[in-house]
Amino acid sequence: MKRRIAALFLLSLLVGCERMEALPVERYPASPVGDGLERNLDTACIADYREDVDYFPERSRFDWSTQLSVEYGRHFKRVSFRPSVDTGETLEILLVQCGTPVPAHDAATVVVEVPIRRLATGNSAMLGAADELGIVERLVGIENIRSPTVEAVRRRIAEGGIQELWGYAHANIEPIMAVRPDVYLSFYSAYPQFNLHPQLQRVGIRALPQADHLEGHPLGRAEWLKLLAMLVNREAEANRRFAVIETEYLYWRDLAAQAQRRPQIMAGFPSGRDSFEVFGALNQRARLLADAGGGYVLAGLREHGSLLQLGFEEVYLAGAEAPVWIGAQSGYSSLAQMLDSTPRASWFAATRAGQVYAFDRGYTGAWASPAHDNGMTRPHLALAEVVQVLHPELVHSSVPPTFLRRLP
């Protein structure tokens, strides 16, 4: 009953559009740095601020993302988020080195002292990125503690360091507040009424939208690793890792470009009796298929969305004769089980040929798989696997599968 009353109280604040003061953060100890730094401080604040000193000698930039941009000052980073989908929103994020003054900013700007100590997320795509940056110990809350496949995250859950934030609509505001995150990364929906970050900001949570899935290019999605790094002043590590991702991705893209044929690819899966869940042709998932040397059957669907609903007939007309189906629904143990659940899937040529693949290798149930937790920062691996399926004649040595699985 007490939890319900507290939730109702929070909702009353939201209805009234009142903005509470931001929750206090846990600062790192302050250290004197004198005339300057050779590397960013990822576990310390500034004890002797001077306006002529550059406190961010290690910096990142966004070359592939169409939604993120950043401008560095000597002691702050001004990040702009402009979603690729038409939600009518832009957001300015001011990341300020702790121990230094906050620059002038608009009232709507989200101000965050960096490096942060406590991170919470409502999107598992950031779990693999947190592990790669070595900051899993800063995770204090995730949406579901039963689904992670990242081993470092699983260990921290077992130790009691991560709390579950699962909930629906406004119901998860209270547990998010309870873990006192310095930053909460909120899954960004193409449908504004489902976005939680504005409500969280009103109750004092520094909530930042996470819209990696709406990028138009897989490398643009992977660059969200850099945003996470900016929160902890680990730009150098993010730059190093992204350089490997970019090099490998472009290698496989250029290899696929040598193919003499570009097979059509069926994608998506039935989401109801008469509907299909698909993605827009401007989405990063469609670009990955194109870079693998294939053609997305819904190339005329000129949208950025990653979760779109179409009628079965429209999808069937577009993809009935495609020789391969990549991105079927996760969790089916076999093609026969998929057909038992959705008999009309047997009408597609790819199904009859047994060429149906899902990005669910290592699936543990409830949409939990390495592709969900690590796919954001490993598009080069996904691309290599799709190239191997579409153009095996170009691949001289087989690529060990990480995400993609052919339904037996």
Output the domain CATH number for residue 303: 3.40.50.1980
pLDDT value for 106: 95
237 shares its domain with 128: yes
Distances 245 to 250, 282, 379, 387, 395 between C-alpha atoms, Å: 9, 21, 7, 16, 19
Q: How far apart are the C-alpha atoms of 389 and 259, rounded to whole Å?
A: 12
DSSP letters, 340-361, are HH-GGGGGSHHHHTT-EEES-T
Residue 18 pLDDT exceeds 80: no
- Asked whether residue 101 is assigned to any structural domain, the reply reads yes
93 phi and psi, to 5 degrees? -120, 125
Residue 2 pLDDT exceeds 70: no
Q: How far apart are the C-alpha atoms of 91 and 332, rounded to whole Å?
A: 39
pLDDT band at 10 (very low <50, low <70, confident <90, very high): very low
Q: How many domains does the chain contain in total? A: 2
Question: The tokens 């206090």 sit on which residue?
Answer: 24
138 shares its domain with 265: no
Residue 194 pLDDT exceeds 60: yes
> Region 284-295: what's the mean pLDDT?
98
331-374 pLDDT, tens per residue?
Answer: 999 999 999 999 999 999 999 999 999 999 998 877 788 999 99
- Asked whether residue 251 is assigned to any structural domain, the reply reads no
Q: Can you read off the two tokens belonging to residue 354?
A: 């047994």
The domain boundary, picked from 210, 244, 278, lies at 244
pLDDT band at 19 (very low <50, low <70, confident <90, very high): low
Q: How far apart are the C-alpha atoms of 45 and 99, rounded to whole Å?
A: 5
86 shares its domain with 205: yes
pLDDT value for 385: 97
pLDDT band at 88 (very low <50, low <70, confident <90, very high): confident
pLDDT band at 172 (very low <50, low <70, confident <90, very high): confident
Residue 14 pLDDT exceeds 70: no
> Region 230-239: what's the mean pLDDT?
98
Residue 12 pLDDT exceeds 50: no
Residue 9 pLDDT exceeds 50: no
Q: How far apart are the C-alpha atoms of 299 and 33, rounded to whole Å?
A: 54
pLDDT value for 397: 83
Region of residue 366 (phi > 0: left; psi between -120 and 50: alpha; otherwise: beta) = left
> Region 136-144: what's the mean pLDDT?
96
61 shares its domain with 135: yes
DSSP-derived 3-state class of residue 78: strand
pLDDT value for 41: 98
Can you give the residue range of the structural domain that contains 36?
2-244
Per-chain mean pLDDT for the chain: 92
Question: The tokens 């795509």 sit on which residue?
Answer: 125
User: Which has more confidence, 272 or 96?
Assistant: 96
pLDDT value for 1: 40
CA pseudo-torsion sign 174, 190, 119, 92: negative
> Region 214-238: what's the mean pLDDT?
98
Separation of CA 305 from chain center: 14
pLDDT value for 36: 87
The domain boundary, picked from 244, 272, 292, lies at 244
Q: Is residue 237 within 8 Å of 134, Cβ to Cβ?
A: yes
281 shares its domain with 235: no
269 shares its domain with 383: yes
pLDDT value for 5: 39
288 shares its domain with 372: yes
> Region 291-307: what's the mean pLDDT?
95
- Asked whether residue 232 is assigned to any structural domain, the reply reads yes
Q: How far apart are the C-alpha atoms of 118 and 141, rounded to whole Å?
A: 9
Region of residue 180 (phi > 0: left; psi between -120 and 50: alpha; otherwise: beta) = left
314-337 pLDDT, tens per residue?
Answer: 999 999 999 999 999 999 999 999
Q: How far apart are the C-alpha atoms of 187 and 237, rounded to whole Å?
A: 24
